Amino acid sequence: MAEESSSRDSAAPGQHGVPSQRRSSRSWLAEAGDALISVLFPAGCRICDRLLTRASRVPICEECLSSFERVAAIACEVCGRPLPGWKRAEGQPLLCPACQDKTYAFDRARSFAVYEGALVRAILLLKFEQIEPLGSWFAERLVELVKGQVDGLQADVVVPVPLHRQRERERGYNQAALISKPLAKRLRLPHKAVLLMRTRARPDKRILSLEERWESVRGAFATRPGSQVDNLRVLLVDDVFTTGATLDACARALREAGAKSVFGLTIARAVRNPLPDSSAW
């Protein structure tokens, strides 16, 4: 609960007067110090090893960052799956086969870039090395994505997809929260890191089939007892949209608890069949 309270405070800058200004000054000094170190002791890009020539806390070069392939504009209006070559029938929404069958419980999902190449390695850095500046960089891309929605996006809270408590204890952090927390701050929304919880751990098997992936998350999430969810519009944040099973399971838990809407946001979108029995893809 303390994390939620501090996030609400950070979502409303300037309300705390001088202490807030002091925090901002310390943050600026820390960033300036990091930038100076990067100039005096240049390092290599963590993806391609090219020498980093700019002052930045993100350990990835501009060439690699710019290589991330944005998700195409022609995409499913619900899940955001790229649909190159598809055309919208007049008066009809553009929907992929899964969303024509109303597979998902979330209202919409959008992703920043395609899960391939340098982006895969960047997400692994975030996931296993807790590089918070990279999480903030990704959050900025999601802010652009949110603000670029033609019909706008109304939300009340930002919620990261949770890890099971055992997995988070082992890792020491939740990689989704490394993105969702700075995102909430930039959107001036409360960050509810403990609103949703994972009640069943992921199977130990390293690689799951499509059937196993869907089964592993079915009923595996719930809202935390005592959480206020009724009529909330939720921004649900994760690192990768692979099959959509995780976002779907989280959205179902939020809907059952009374959420008004659920909008999924991820950094990456895997372009692959989201359903194990989908012969149309």
Per-residue confidence band for 232, with pLDDT thresholds at 50, 70 and 90: very high
d(CA 202, CA 179): 21
> Which of the listed ranges 33-42, 97-106, 135-144 does the model predict with the highest average pLDDT?
135-144
Q: What is the number of other CB atoms lying within 10 angstroms of the CB of residue 33?
A: 11
d(CA 120, CA 7): 29
pLDDT recorded at residue 215: 87
Structure tokens at 58: 């993100």
pLDDT recorded at residue 92: 87
pLDDT recorded at residue 150: 64
pLDDT recorded at residue 9: 42
pLDDT recorded at residue 256: 96
Per-residue confidence band for 7, with pLDDT thresholds at 50, 70 and 90: very low
Whose tokens are 């409303």? That residue is: 12
pLDDT tens readout for residues 10-65: 344 444 444 545 555 555 555 555 555 555 556 899 999 998 877 788 999 999 99
pLDDT tens readout for residues 161-220: 999 999 999 999 999 999 999 999 999 999 999 999 999 988 776 677 778 888 889 999
pLDDT recorded at residue 130: 93
Structure tokens at 103: 């597979």
pLDDT of 125 higher than 90: yes
Per-residue confidence band for 278, with pLDDT thresholds at 50, 70 and 90: very low
Per-residue confidence band for 5, with pLDDT thresholds at 50, 70 and 90: very low
pLDDT recorded at residue 182: 98
CA distances from 169 to 135, 173, 174 (A): 20, 7, 9
- Amino acid identity for residue 241 in this structure: F
68: nearest Cα among 27, 126, 121: 121
The half-sphere exposure of 46 on its side-chain side, counting CA atoms within 13 A, is: 17
221-223 and 196-198 strand pairing:
antiparallel
Share the mean pLDDT of the chain. 84
Residue 86 vs residue 112, higher pLDDT: 112
pLDDT tens readout for residues 51-100: 887 778 899 999 999 999 999 888 999 999 998 888 877 888 999 988 99
Give the 3-state secondary structure of 216-239. Answer: HHCCCEEECCCCCCCCCEEEEEEE
Phi and psi at 218, nearest 5°, equal: -65, 115
pLDDT recorded at residue 279: 43
pLDDT recorded at residue 47: 95
